[in-house]
Amino acid sequence: MLAEQIRNSLEKLELEKVAAGDYGRTGYHVEVAAKPEQITAIAQVMLEQQCFLESLTALDLIESFEVVYHFACFRELCRTVVHVPLIKGKTAPTLSSVYPAADWFEREVFDLFGIVFAGHPNLKRLILPEDADFHPLLKDFVASS
């Protein structure tokens, strides 16, 4: 079972939380919570387990941010979610050296939330114009609806 292998490998990293997920309710097989500095090591484990980076996004929880990583696998049904709480104003390490897919995902998160990924080779706006001075997915950004 891949989910078990992933849990066993991740448990060695001494993360905040590594637990089995309730697939029928959430769509996750493994749920992980970690500190920002641990995400690179997690990504390396996921790559060793032949998982791909499905999605990378963030949540604005008003007091703080949370960066959310989803991993899945081509061979076997197993989705891993990694929640990384991030204090506003702090940076998260980039995954682009492990997963090139993260390059664009991180640029998108930087664009829409203003989260800086330390070590990113080309961190500039991806979707909005270069001269935009706002981050639209922040909760205090008011959109005219």
Partner 1 sequence: MLEPGIEEKTFYLNLGPQHPSTHGVLRILLEMDGEFIANSEPVIGYGHRAHEKMAELRTYQQYLPNMGRVDYLHALAYNHGYCLAVERLAGIEVPERAEFIRVITSELNRIASHLLWFGAYLLDLGAFTPFLYCFDDRENVVDILDRVTGSRLTYCYFRFGGVRDDIDDEFIAGCRAFITRLRSRWQDYDDLVTKNVIFINRTRDVGIITPEQALKYGVTGPCLRGSGIPYDIRRSEPYSVYPLFDFEIPIGERGDIMDRYVVRLREMEQSLRIIEQALDKLPNGPIMAEKVPKRLKPAEGEVYAAVESGRGEFGTYIVSKGDTKPYRIKLRVPSFSNLSIISELIKDTLVADMVAILGSLDLVIPEVDR
Interface with partner 1 by CB under 8 A: which residues? 24-28, 47, 50, 52-55, 57, 59-60, 68, 70, 72, 74, 76-77, 79, 81, 99-101, 103-104, 112, 122, 125-129, 136-137, 141, 143, 145
Nearer to partner 1, 76 or 116 (CB): 76
Nearer to partner 1, 87 or 132 (CB): 132
CB of 102 to partner 1, least distance (A): 9
CB of 116 to partner 1, least distance (A): 19
Nearer to partner 1, 14 or 24 (CB): 24
- Residue 144: CB partners within 8 Å, gap ≥ 6? none
Cα–Cα–Cα angle for 59, 65, 68, nearest 5°?
A: 50
CB of 115 to partner 1, least distance (A): 14
- How far apart, in whole angstroms, are the C-alpha atoms of residue 132 and residue 47? 35
- How far apart, in whole angstroms, are the C-alpha atoms of residue 69 and residue 55? 6
What distances in angstroms separate CA 111 from CA 32, 123, 135, 137, 141, one per listed residue?
25, 9, 6, 9, 13
For residue 110, report the phi and psi dihedrals to the nearest 5 degrees.
-60, -40
CB of 50 to partner 1, least distance (A): 7
Please check whether residue 6 is in contact with residue 13, taking contact to mean a CB–CB distance below 8 angstroms. Answer: no
Nearer to partner 1, 13 or 59 (CB): 59
Nearer to partner 1, 38 or 96 (CB): 96
First to last CA, the chain: 47
CB of 88 to partner 1, least distance (A): 16
